[in-house]
Amino acid sequence: MAFAVNLSPLPLRSPEITIGSSGFSNSLVSFNRKRPTLSFAVSNSTEEPPTTTPEIELEFLGPKPGDDGKYPVDRAAAASGEKLLRTIMADNKIELYGTYGKVMNCGGGGSCGTCIVEVVEGKELLNERTNTELKYLKKKPESWRLACQTIVGNKENSGKVRIQRLPQWKK
């Protein structure tokens, strides 16, 4: 059995693409009615690429151990310096309040003192205690904060913050 193979060269055709500005000037490839036109958009922009906001990682330790004897851990992340700790916990459905605080909290107004957390790690990534905290936490450990007064990050820092929920339940 024999096969015949045609090895003659393919006919060359000139491309029907030209470089020009006719047609629609805002697109990279544009067409007019007669023939396609390839056009180029050249950017001379000196804009810098958008920078990303640093992020703070958060870990929330539960107030009571589970059946396995371990304390449950919830995790979240937030852009540095943009939110209060209370807001981050609410956004991530992480319980902040004890029984009384659930019903009687002031909604983040700084007038009830029920949104207490303990900063176990990462204190340096948070704002200083506010006057409200100095009032409500006067006789409490240094590491305790009010979540509605605590800003997570300062827009420039990043790192990890570990929070003990309801530290008053452990004392």
Q: Does 79 bind ligand FES (CB under 6 A)?
A: no
CB contact at 8 A, 149 and 132: yes
CB contact at 8 A, 117 and 74: no
Q: In angstroms, what is the minimal distance from the CB of 145 to ligand FES?
A: 10
What is the number of other CB atoms lying within 10 angstroms of the CB of residue 167?
A: 20
Residues in 120-149 at the binding interface with ligand FES, rule: CB under 6 A: 146, 148
Q: In angstroms, what is the minimal distance from the CB of 106 to ligand FES?
A: 4
Dihedral angle over CA of 92, 164, 100, 76, nearest 10: 0
Kindly give, in sequence order, each residue whose CB lies less than 8 Å from that of residue 151, ignoring residues fewer than 6 positions away: 81, 83, 84, 85, 126, 127
Selected from 54, 108, 121, 168, the binder of ligand FES by CB under 6 A is: 108
Build a one-symbol-per-residue string for 33-72: x at contacts with ligand FES by CB under 6 A, - elsewhere: ----------------------------------------
Q: Does 98 bind ligand FES (CB under 6 A)?
A: no
Q: Does 110 bind ligand FES (CB under 6 A)?
A: yes
Burial code (b: 16+ CB inside 10 Å, e: under 16) for 119-139 equals beebeebbbebbeebeebbee
Selected from 115, 117, 137, 166, the binder of ligand FES by CB under 6 A is: 115
Q: In angstroms, what is the minimal distance from the CB of 91 to ligand FES?
A: 15
What is the number of other CB atoms lying within 10 angstroms of the CB of residue 163?
A: 27
Q: In angstroms, what is the minimal distance from the CB of 67 to ligand FES?
A: 31
Q: In angstroms, what is the minimal distance from the CB of 78 to ligand FES?
A: 18
Kindly give, in sequence order, each residue whose CB lies less than 8 Å from that of residue 129, ignoring residues fewer than 6 positions away: 137, 145, 149
Residues that bind ligand FES (CB under 6 A): 105-106, 108-115, 146, 148
